[in-house]
């Protein structure tokens, strides 16, 4: 099993350009997430999905859109990139939601995409 | 908005030393997770704690969940160079039901 994969690994964009980040998981997980990681700020949730065909906003959704047309894929789009979107983007998936239980709530992360917007 | 404050942000120690990383909040969490992240990779789960006062041990790592479920700590005994990495705590519950709120992370460097 590959787990969670992300493409591309690196990308440089100019301000105003658009791009799509692809996340794929082969664990048949219902839940998928997109985070961004910036120095000193941990991981911040951008958007998430609780199942095929569903998406919801996270903590920092502005400037991003997502789609989950297939259960195994979660796409993150930037329509008009800005320098403030320079970051490392992580996709994650989980079998269950985080909560007061010990099992099925582990989030499995991809290796990340390093995006620079000039 | 629920916040998790981790301290210290940076920790640089010699091999063999002990260390503790703290994760504090004013909010109550239903569970708390600790992840470890190596450079160029995504975070990997170390442990989940769900009961106030709970203590879990993973070899040289000891995790504690505060009685009020607002704070947690990670203690490493006799650190090794392989422990080097970014440690992240993440809380679940409250207003962020089903989602994780991450602390800002602690960068640990263990020197030989």
Q: A99 vs B30: CB contact, 8 Å cut-off?
A: yes
Percent of chain A clearing pLDDT 70 (strictly above): 98
pLDDT per position as a tens digit, B24-70: 999 999 999 999 999 999 999 999 999 999 999 999 999 999 999 99
Average pLDDT for chain B: 94
Q: Is B82 helix (H, G, I), strand (E, B) or coil?
A: helix
**Residue A32 and residue A45: Cα distance in Å, rounded?**
11
**What sign does the CA torsion over A57, A61, A65, A67 have?**
negative
Q: What angle do CA A40, A44, A49 make, to 5 degrees?
A: 165
Give residue B94's pLDDT: 66
Q: Is B40 helix (H, G, I), strand (E, B) or coil?
A: coil
Q: Please report where in the chains the tokens 């964009």 appear, as a residue.
A: A13
CB under 8 A, 24+ apart: contacts of B6-9: B6/A42, B6/B87, B6/B88, B6/B89, B6/B103, B6/B104, B6/B105, B6/B106, B7/B106, B8/B106, B9/A40, B9/B104, B9/B105, B9/B106, B9/B107
Q: Yes or no: say if B47 and B63 are a contact pair by the CB < 8 Å rule.
A: yes
Q: Please report where in the chains the tokens 């990139």 appear, as a residue.
A: A81
Whether the pLDDT of residue B97 is over 80: the answer is: no
**Residue A104 and residue B2: Cα distance in Å, rounded?**
23
Q: Is B15 helix (H, G, I), strand (E, B) or coil?
A: coil
Q: Is B39 on the interface with A (CB under 8 A)?
A: no
pLDDT per position as a tens digit, A17-34: 999 999 999 999 999 999
Nearest residue, CB atoms, A102 vs list B50, B93, B97: B50
Interface test with chain A among B3, B42, B43, B52, by most A beta carbons within 10 Å: B42
Q: Is B66 on the interface with A (CB under 8 A)?
A: no
């Amino acid at each position: 099993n590959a787990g969670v994969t992300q493409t591309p690994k690196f990308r440089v964009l100019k301000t105003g350009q658009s791009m799509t980040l692809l996340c794929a998981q082969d664990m048949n997980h219902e839940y998928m997430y997109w985070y961004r990681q910036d120095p000193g700020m941990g991981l911040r949730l951008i958007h998430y999905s609780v199942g095929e065909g569903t998406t919801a906003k996270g903590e920092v959704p502005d400037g991003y859109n997502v789609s989950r047309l297939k259960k195994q894929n979660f796409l993150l789009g930037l329509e008009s990139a800005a320098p403030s979107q320079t970051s490392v983007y992580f996709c994650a998936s989980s079998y269950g939601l985080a909560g007061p239980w010990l099992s099925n709530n582990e989030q499995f992360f991809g290796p990340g995409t390093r995006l620079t917007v000039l | 908005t629920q916040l998790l404050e981790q301290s210290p942000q940076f920790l640089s120690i010699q091999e063999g030393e002990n260390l503790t990383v703290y994760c504090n909040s004013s909010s109550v969490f239903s569970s708390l997770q600790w992840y470890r992240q190596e450079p160029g990779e995504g975070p990997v789960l170390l442990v989940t704690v769900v009961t106030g006062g709970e203590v879990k041990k993973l070899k040289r790592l000891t995790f504690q969940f505060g009685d009020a479920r607002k704070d947690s700590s990670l203690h490493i005994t006799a650190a090794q160079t392989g422990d080097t990495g970014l440690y992240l705590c993440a809380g679940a519950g409250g207003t962020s039901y089903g989602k994780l709120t991450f602390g800002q992370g602690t960068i640990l460097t263990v020197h030989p």
